[in-house]
Amino acid sequence: MNMAYHSGPAGTCAASNLWLMQAADFEAKVQSFFATLDLGETRGIARARAYRSALAQAGLSGLSYPTELGGQGLDPEYERRFSAIAKDSVPGEAAMLGIGLGMALPTIATYGSPELQRRFIPPGLRGDEVWCQLFSEPGAGSDLAGLTCRAERDGDQWIVTGQKVWTSGAHHADLGILIARTDADRPKHRGVTMFVIEMNQPGVQVRPLVQMTGVAEFNEVFLDQAEIPADWVVGEVNGGWALAVALLAHERTTLGKGTKTDDKAKSKAGRSPLPYEGLAALAKAKGRTNDPLVRQSLAAIYTHELIIPALRAREIHPSVGKLWRTRQGRLAAQLAHELGGPNAVAWETTDTEADYWAYHVLNCRGMSLGGGTDEIQRNTIGERVLGLPREPGPPRDTPFRELPRN
Ligand SMILES: Cc1cc2nc3c(=O)[nH]c(=O)nc-3n(C[C@H](O)[C@H](O)[C@H](O)COP(=O)(O)OP(=O)(O)OC[C@H]3O[C@@H](n4cnc5c(N)ncnc54)[C@H](O)[C@@H]3O)c2cc1C
């Protein structure tokens, strides 16, 4: 189906009728896509890639990206319409591509050179290239600007040495969005640069870290004289901090979107809160729907599911959505734990039902850390939304080299 879309309802009645018809065509197209979507027996990252590839073939990937970058050139309103239809049909594994689609690509789209945009956005939208986020280090998590991984210019490339940690999906990533120190004589926020780095090269070693869920979703990444082409800098050299903040805002917005785990597939992927429907069904199966405490928890979970889209409609600060998500995740996991009993923490991995609930019960704690901890979100809301004074610390113009470090 070939459709030329207007970019939103215009002033005249005829134009607005035309727009409504086009929007209806679009919604029919999305419904038909999900009705016929067949990802076969694929699992994990292969399923995520297959989903993106199917979306691209159907002309539904990168809805608001320009067509010359592999997108559909549509008004952002179409993203909203797509999400409303897709919310219960997107495979949970699609979240495995979230770092590229929700964080790296939007940052490159805003700050990257036209060459970087043409090189990375089209394959990223198709799911041909998978991304990871090389930000956190053993000594730089909440205090991310304290990072020590360094990049030095050598002829027509940058040479990177250092260690990153908690790098989600690095084991299946083709590319990393990296921040590294490029000038230690400048203040800590003004001497870091954002790069794109090729993960499959001799100077990059990825070591998986097994979490208490039993799954190794993140990694340590050792960079030893890893190479980056000179022009794979995103934005300005030493201007990476503002871009890192922008990327983290994308991350927090994505995390706080209020999307729910794809319950039908019972997948152990993604980090969204367990949905009300699944928990209500579990309570029923366990004969607990008359228990007043269970009913109270279910009511709270249901109400919070309704609140988040309402909050988002008001364009809340990304940290508010992120905090909502972690709170909802803990509430939902706590109820799953109560209903599941010992199975929720000690289970046979061959029991796929118990495996699913246990994964979410154990995984929810990490949700409060990834993308910045709850305390950091509260600090951000305090300083940036409420206008409270900054946390005390050394003067912000002290050169990084002179700052006390552990
Ligand atoms: C599931 C998961 C996935 C992740 N994926 C990635 C990834 O793909 N890429 C990546 O780069 N990183 C990733 N991370 C790392 C994550 O961003 C960090 O764990 C997080 O920023 C916290 O840093 P930290 O672990 O060093 O803890 P620390 O910064 O050492 O914090 C320890 C404790 O001190 C508190 N604290 C620290 N500073 C303050 C302060 N100023 N005020 C109040 N309290 C404070 C924190 O809230 C926390 O409770 C991931 C983490 C998790 C759990």
253 C-alpha to center of ligand 1: Å? 17
Q: What pTM does this model have?
A: 0.92
Give the residue-averaged pLDDT of 200-207.
98
Domain presence at residue 13: no
Domain presence at residue 276: yes
Q: Does residue 251 have an active-site annotation? A: yes
- Highest-scoring range by mean pLDDT, 214-228, 299-313, 343-357: 214-228
Q: Are 267 and 93 in contact (CB under 8 A)?
A: yes
Weakest mean pLDDT among 5-14, 22-31, 180-189, 225-234? 5-14
Say yes or no: 152 and 113 in one domain.
Answer: no
Domain presence at residue 3: no
Domain presence at residue 56: yes
Residue 269 has pLDDT above 80, yes or no: no
Ramachandran quadrant class, 353 (left: phi over 0; alpha: psi -120 to 50; beta: rest): alpha
Q: In percent, how much of the chain has pLDDT > 70? A: 91
Give the residue-averaged pLDDT of 80-85.
90
For a mutational test of ligand 1's pocket, the pick from 101, 163, 166, 326, i.e. the residue with the most ligand atoms closer than 8 A to its C-beta, is: 166
Say yes or no: 112 and 154 in one domain.
Answer: no
Model pLDDT, residue 344: 80
Kindly give, in sequence order, each residue whose CB lies less than 8 Å from that of residue 84, ignoring residues fewer than 6 positions away.
none
Using pLDDT thresholds of 50, 70 and 90, give the confidence band for residue 13. Answer: low
Per the structure, the count of domains in the chain is 3
Q: What is each CA distance from 320 to 127, 183, 270, 331, 333, in whole angstroms?
A: 29, 33, 20, 17, 20
Domain presence at residue 380: no
Kindly give, in sequence order, each residue whose CB lies less than 8 Å from that of residue 368, ignoring residues fewer than 6 positions away.
326, 329, 330, 374
Residue 301 and residue 327: Cα distance in Å, rounded? 10
368 C-alpha to center of ligand 1: Å? 9
Q: Are 259 and 89 in contact (CB under 8 A)?
A: no
Domain presence at residue 136: yes
Say yes or no: 310 and 215 in one domain.
Answer: no
Say yes or no: 225 and 294 in one domain.
Answer: no
Where b means 16+ CB within 10 Å and e means fewer, 206-237 reads: beeeeeebeeebbbbbbbeebbbeeebbbbeb
Kindly give, in sequence order, each residue whose CB lies less than 8 Å from that of residue 60, ignoring residues fewer than 6 positions away.
29, 30, 33, 72, 82
Domain presence at residue 2: no
Residue 307 and residue 281: Cα distance in Å, rounded? 21
Residue 91 and residue 27: Cα distance in Å, rounded? 19
- What residues are in contact with ligand 1 under a 6 Å CB criterion? 132-133, 135-136, 141-142, 166-168, 218, 366, 369-370, 372-373, 375-376, 379, 391
| Residue linked to tokens 């993140």 | 218
Identify the domain boundary among 126, 155, 176: 126
Model pLDDT, residue 5: 46
Domain hosting 165: range is: 131-238
Model pLDDT, residue 119: 98
Say yes or no: 260 and 364 in one domain.
Answer: yes
DSSP 332-372: HHHHHHHHHGGGGTS--TT-HHHHHHHHHHHHHHHHTTTTS
Using pLDDT thresholds of 50, 70 and 90, give the confidence band for residue 396. Answer: confident
- The CATH number given to whatever domain includes residue 32 is 1.10.540.10
Of 224, 190, 233, 194, the C-alpha closest to 206 is 224
Using pLDDT thresholds of 50, 70 and 90, give the confidence band for residue 393. Answer: confident
Model pLDDT, residue 3: 43
Say yes or no: 261 and 365 in one domain.
Answer: yes
Model pLDDT, residue 23: 87
Q: Are 328 and 304 in contact (CB under 8 A)?
A: yes
